[in-house]
Structure 1
Amino acid sequence: MIRCKRVYQAVEQDDGQRVLVDRLWPRNKRKDDLHGQWLREVAPSDELRKAFHQGEVDFAGFAQQYRQELAAHPEHWYPLLDLAGKGTLTLLYAGKDTEHNNARVLAEWLEDELDRRGPGSSPVCYAQ
């Protein structure tokens, strides 16, 4: 199962493997409080991230361009498939918007990849 969760939410036992998937380190978060790993290279490019946050591209355009970036660099996200295949994978993000963020797009991307390889699970994104 692949879950999405704000990095500021409390760590839970059922989080499984926790991976921060933002390019920038979250504000006011100590590295030893992460209880997981940081894969900044799987995050959207700086150019795409800035364009989305500045309103130059809507979420649909952001998701499409981010998927193109993911397709071009499987070496960045492929290790996440192994983690997801072994149990729960929680993708952490810092943004306040729980519906429109890179972790949600990445979770859907990974689920699509897992489905191509066999039965998968649905991404679950928790708001708070």
Structure 2
Amino acid sequence: MLKTKRIYQGAAEEDGCRILVDRLWPRGVSKEKAKLDYWEKEVAPSNDLRKDFHKERIDFEAFRERYVEELRKNKAVEPFVELLKEELAKRDVTLLFGAKNERENQVTVLQEWLEDKF
């Protein structure tokens, strides 16, 4: 099962494989507390796109469209998808993010996009 969770909620046994998919390290979270298996920052939105969204220069739908386009062109995505397939064959995978908004963020877009791949 592919799940998502804010990294600030802390690690839990049911998380399975924990993968941070933010480009920036979340503030106030130590590497020990994060208990990550992987940090896949290369599949996160570009800095320009991230800044446009966080500074409200674009709305969520425009962000979604641009991020999906970035994912289609991103060479880091194929190895990431393979990693996910390998991990999901063994256990659940939780994609971790730092955003406060749990519904409109890059992880919801990434999860939807990935679900079409499986």
Query: 1:43 maps to which residue?
Result: 44
Secondary structure in 2 aligned to 1:4?
strand
Query: 2:96 maps to which residue?
Result: 92
Query: 1:83 maps to which residue?
Result: 87
Deviation at 1:5, TM superposition (A): 0.3
TM-score under structure 1 normalisation? 0.83
Query: 2:14 maps to which residue?
Result: 14
Identify which of 95, 102, 105 aligns with 1:101: 105
CA contact (8 A) 1:81 1:110 kept: no
1:49-128 aligned at under 5 Å gives the runs: 49-76=50-77, 77-78=80-81, 79-114=83-118
CA contact (8 A) 2:21 2:40 kept: yes
Segments ≥4 residues shifted beyond 4 Å: none
TM-score under structure 2 normalisation? 0.89
Unpaired runs of 5+ in structure 2? Answer: none
- Identity fraction in percent: 42
Cα distance in structure 1, aligned partners of 2:52 and 2:76: 24
Secondary structure in 2 aligned to 1:60?
helix
Secondary structure in 1 aligned to 2:99?
coil
Closer, same or farther: CA 12–59 of 1 in aligned 2, 3 Å: same
Deviation at 1:73, TM superposition (A): 1.6
Cα distance in structure 1, aligned partners of 2:45 and 2:87: 20
Cα distance in structure 1, aligned partners of 2:61 and 2:89: 28
Aligned length: 114
Unpaired runs of 5+ in structure 1? Answer: 115-128
